[in-house]
Structure 1
Amino acid sequence: MAERSTMLLDVRQHLLHAQQRMKSHADKCHSERVFNVGYFVFIRLQPYVQSSLEPRSHHKLCFNYFGPFEIVAKIGSIAYKLALPPGSAVHLVFHVSLLKPASALI
């Protein structure tokens, strides 16, 4: 029984060490992005969703980002509502990871 409890403690320590390594690696690659209402951003869409904003015959040749679109509202801490064209069949709320600032062009 004592051997089992020491093995369990050993496994927990290894898991904790692995979690700390994964967290430090993820934090190195993470960039904090915050946008204000009224800013213009580009959005990144999946190829099958892009056809609702701009129809193209070949998805491989589609643009990586669309826009710029204005930020209408901030939803929570990581989502933003954008002002998309009226005919688009895409949801108006996007995660911050799909947005890219367009301040250099506007």
Structure 2
Amino acid sequence: MHCMVANAEHHYTGLSLIHGVDLVRETEGKVKVIRDSLKVASDRQKSYAGLKRKDIEFLIGDKVFLKVSPWKKILRFGRRVKLSPCFIRPHEIIERIGPVAYELALPTELEKIHNVFHVSMLHRYRSNPSHVISPAEIEIHTDMTYNKKLIRILA
């Protein structure tokens, strides 16, 4: 075994410590300016986005339509074509899960889909008695067909 003696020399930095403190202060100042600029830009963007935002709330028991247009490549609702429905029949709200999530009572044909949806996927259903057709107005034959009656010619 050999012992090695290290030649260590002491170096004094002198004024470099003061230069390091100035650099840190200058950097902190620049970071503060950048943060302030980012906050101003963020607040401006929030003010523009907040103009179009609307808070939608539903009550338990309300009926809502379920939006199906963003579900691409899901063929449970039929193929996506121009005239395919954007919303499917009204469903009842069972429970409010969070501030923007609701649980729906889905029929058995939609049992493979999770029943909790974001408020953006729901559209309020407003029942209108004029849309309901009474069975007396339509004469249904025994073979489940009916005859159309001409109301007026549009052209």
**TM-score, normalisation: structure 1:** 0.83
One-letter code aligned to 2:57: V
Q: 1:11 aligns with which of 17, 29, 34?
A: 34
Structure 1 residue 65 displacement after superposition: 1.1
Identify the residue that residue 47 of structure 1 maps to in structure 2.
72
Identify the residue that residue 95 of structure 2 maps to in structure 1.
73
**Sequence identity percentage:** 29
One-letter code aligned to 2:31: L
Structure 2: segments with no counterpart, 5+ residues: 1-22, 130-155
Per-residue CA shift, 1:61-104, capped at 9, x if unaligned? 32111121111111122111111111212111101111110114
Matches of 2:37 and 2:127, distance apart in 1 = 46
| Runs of 4+ with deviation above 2 angstroms | 2-6
Matches of 1:75 and 1:94, distance apart in 2 = 9
Matches of 1:71 and 1:105, distance apart in 2 = 19
Matched, 1:23 2:46: yes
Structure 1: segments with no counterpart, 5+ residues: none
Q: Which has the larger radius of gyration?
A: 2
Matches of 2:103 and 2:94, distance apart in 1 = 6
**What's the RMSD between the two structures over aligned residues?**
1.7
Task: Return the structure number with greater relative CO, CA threshold 8 A, min gap 6.
Answer: 1
One-letter code aligned to 2:85: F
Q: 1:95 aligns with which of 106, 118, 143?
A: 118
> Which one has a larger percent helix, Structure 1 or Structure 2?
1
Q: 1:60 aligns with which of 67, 70, 81?
A: 81
Residues matched between the structures, number: 102
Matches of 1:42 and 1:48, distance apart in 2 = 20
